[in-house]
């Protein structure tokens, strides 16, 4: 069984990222997604 947690502070999760995570979980036990932050 896999669990996927999403950080609600960044609500615009793309379908591509989600698909990539699900695909990577077929190979790896844990996955983390890191994205550059915007300079605010």
pLDDT on residue 18:
92
pLDDT on residue 29:
92
The C-alpha atoms of residue 40 and residue 38 are separated, in whole angstroms, by 6
The C-alpha atoms of residue 38 and residue 25 are separated, in whole angstroms, by 28
pLDDT band, very low/low/confident/very high, at 16 (cuts 50, 70, 90): very high
Tens of pLDDT, residue by residue over 21-37, are 999 999 999 999 988 88
């Amino acid at each position: 069984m896999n669990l996927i947690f999403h950080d609600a502070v960044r609500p615009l999760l793309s379908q591509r990222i989600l698909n990539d995570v699900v695909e990577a979980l077929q190979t790896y036990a844990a996955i983390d997604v890191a994205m550059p932050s915007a300079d605010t």
